[in-house]
């Protein structure tokens, strides 16, 4: 065989091998793609809660995106593709309303962009602002087939759910707004007028009463709970002593005084606000064990065990730092710095049934108020408490991720090293590889 022909054959074979390697690499990378999110706050990565809900979908959930805006289309599709990769039962499709008018009419599209989430055999949820928080909550709502009703007790100085003037700092208006974005309906309840808790109640909310409940009201609450009722109870330093006795049957009691957190000042917070830096691993705090996930609990009560009551499980879920004391306490050891339990869950099986009585008791009602609820993980803790109480494990709370601009700051020496590697070393490496390849081809041609 002539040397020139042999040389050409070697060249062709080499090119075919290179092309094959590139094609196979592309196929593998497409099949097993991996993304690296280099942002500090992981804004380009789904939260663990979103990943879990999509990964555990038991039936198909489809997303339908309608938009003509190319810029928004790409960013929303990037987000939806992360959901699609997280679980095999989630799929999405994009339509241009102008090119698919029948489809747009079928969905009732009125704005651009519009995103619809629909579970098989479930609800269809519309989203006008497709953020991760909104999409995940819409998935949860699409899976739920029944609206949950929360009755908020009133008549004894409790925090109200309405604040039209936006002046009441104790108001639960923001909590109500967040709950009603999900599958809940929040309704005030005056027991002295109704004389009972309605049968359609999914749970009740008692938020910081300042006067004692009447014996008949206590009886109504107890009867509701012992038959498998659910309650979120927010206490505080103004919680009446007579109301505290209600918890004796569960085996725990209130500490004397409120928690004074000496470590709060390091964060620029008043010591009367307990700053919770760590929580136990429970259903309502799952995924929030990082140091950045703080809870702010003003004038919070603390709890201690009295005795173990048969058939009742009491689990502490929120504890303060070890730099706390009790204020306004008559106890001799009130000045002793230690960690206090300021949040717990209670669960009891109702005998002879499959019903569960559930309580979440938190030491501060002010943590749900207008001025505090948006700080740290307060809102997420409250939403997760409600989800656990009502058995809606799919309804999760997700903290929005803020993009953080963080420039790369290099010293003059680091800058010089960086420039040397990019401007000199990298081109030299490429040229060396090219030269080695040429030499290898010449040697092969001479054989």
Q: Is the pLDDT of residue 74 over 60?
A: yes
pLDDT at 404: 45
Q: Residue 11: which pLDDT band, with cuts at 50, 70 and 90?
A: low
pLDDT at 296: 92
The answer to whether residues 115 and 124 touch, using CB atoms and an 8 Å cutoff, is no
More reliable by pLDDT, 266 or 399: 266
For residue range 134-165, what is the model confidence (pLDDT) as tens digits? Answer: 888 888 878 776 778 999 999 999 998 876 55
Which tokens go with 192?
């002295």
Q: Is the pLDDT of residue 434 over 70?
A: no
For residue range 100-137, what is the model confidence (pLDDT) as tens digits? Answer: 999 999 988 888 889 999 988 777 888 888 888 888 88
Q: Residue 276: which pLDDT band, with cuts at 50, 70 and 90?
A: confident
When the pLDDT of each residue in the chain is averaged and rounded to a whole number, the result is 81
For residue range 181-199, what is the model confidence (pLDDT) as tens digits? Answer: 777 899 999 999 999 999 9
* CB neighbours of residue 222 within 10 Å: 13
pLDDT at 150: 96
Q: Which of 30-39, 249-258, 380-389, 415-424 has the lowest mean pLDDT?
A: 30-39
Q: Residue 176: which pLDDT band, with cuts at 50, 70 and 90?
A: very high
pLDDT at 285: 80
pLDDT at 154: 93
pLDDT at 66: 93
**Average pLDDT rounded to a whole number, residues 51-67:** 89
List, edge to edge, every strand of the sheet that includes 90-95.
90-95, 61-66, 114-119, 124-127
The answer to whether residues 236 and 366 touch, using CB atoms and an 8 Å cutoff, is yes
Using a 10 angstrom Cβ sphere, with 0-12 exposed, 13-18 middle and 19 or more buried, the burial of residue 196 is exposed
Per DSSP (E only), the strands in 262-409 are 273-276, 295-298, 303-305, 312-319, 324-327, 341-349, 356-362
pLDDT at 305: 87
Q: Residue 36: which pLDDT band, with cuts at 50, 70 and 90?
A: very low
Q: Is the pLDDT of residue 444 over 80?
A: no
3-state secondary structure of 442: helix
Q: Is the pLDDT of residue 376 over 50?
A: yes
What one-character-per-residue DSSP string does 57-105 give?
-SS-EEEEEE---HHHHHHHHHHHHHHHHH-TTEEEEEE-TTT-HHHHH
pLDDT at 27: 59
3-state secondary structure of 220: helix
E strand or H helix at 3, and its extent?
Answer: helix 3-31
Q: Which of 15-24, 214-223, 341-350, 376-385 has the lowest mean pLDDT?
A: 15-24
Percent of the chain residues past pLDDT 90, beyond the cut: 36
Q: Residue 235: which pLDDT band, with cuts at 50, 70 and 90?
A: very high
| Sign of the CA dihedral running 374, 380, 381, 385 | positive
Using a 10 angstrom Cβ sphere, with 0-12 exposed, 13-18 middle and 19 or more buried, the burial of residue 32 is exposed
């Amino acid at each position: 065989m002539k040397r020139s022909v042999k040389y050409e054959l070697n060249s062709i074979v080499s090119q075919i091998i290179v092309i094959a390697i590139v094609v196979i690499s592309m196929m593998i990378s497409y099949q097993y793609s991996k993304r690296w999110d280099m942002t500090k706050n992981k804004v380009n990565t789904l939260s663990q809660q979103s990943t879990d809900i999509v990964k555990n979908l038991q039936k198909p959930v489809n997303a339908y995106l309608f938009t003509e805006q190319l810029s928004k289309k790409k960013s929303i599709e990037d987000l939806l593709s992360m959901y699609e990769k997280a679980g095999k039962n989630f799929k999405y499709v994009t339509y241009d309303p102008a090119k698919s008018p029948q489809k747009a009419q079928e969905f009732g599209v009125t704005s651009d962009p519009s995103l619809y989430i629909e579970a098989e055999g479930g609800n269809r949820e519309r989203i006008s602002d497709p953020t991760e928080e909104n999409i995940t909550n819409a998935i949860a709502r699409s899976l739920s087939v029944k609206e949950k009703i929360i009755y908020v007790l009133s008549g004894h100085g409790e925090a109200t759910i309405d604040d039209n003037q936006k002046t009441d700092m104790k108001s639960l208006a923001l909590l109500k707004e967040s709950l009603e974005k999900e599958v809940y309906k929040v309704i005030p309840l005056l027991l002295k007028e109704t004389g009972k808790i309605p049968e359609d109640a999914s749970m009740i909310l008692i938020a910081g009463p300042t006067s004692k409940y009447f014996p008949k009201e206590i009886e109504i609450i107890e009867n509701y709970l012992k038959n498998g009722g659910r309650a979120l109870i927010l206490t505080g330093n103004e919680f009446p002593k007579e109301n505290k006795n209600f918890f004796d049957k569960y085996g725990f009691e209130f500490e004397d005084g409120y928690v004074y957190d000496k470590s709060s000042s390091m964060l620029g917070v008043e010591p009367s606000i307990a700053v919770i830096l760590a929580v136990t691993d429970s259903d309502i705090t799952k995924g929030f064990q990082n140091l950045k996930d703080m809870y702010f609990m003003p004038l919070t009560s603390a709890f201690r065990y009295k005795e173990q009551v048969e058939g009742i499980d009491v689990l502490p879920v929120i504890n303060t730092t070890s730099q706390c004391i009790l204020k306004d306490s008559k106890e001799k050891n009130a000045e002793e710095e230690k960690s206090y339990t300021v949040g717990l869950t209670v669960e009891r099986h109702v005998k002879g049934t499959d019903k569960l009585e559930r309580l979440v008791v938190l030491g501060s009602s002010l943590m749900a108020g207008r001025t505090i609820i948006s700080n740290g993980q307060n809102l997420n803790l409250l939403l997760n408490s409600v989800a656990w109480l009502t058995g809606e494990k799919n309804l999760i709370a997700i903290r929005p991720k803020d993009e953080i601009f963080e420039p790369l700051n290099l010293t003059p020496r680091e800058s010089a090293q960086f420039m040397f590697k990019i401007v000199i070393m990298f081109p030299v490496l490429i040229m060396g590889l090219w030269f080695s390849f040429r030499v290898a081809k010449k040697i092969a041609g001479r054989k």
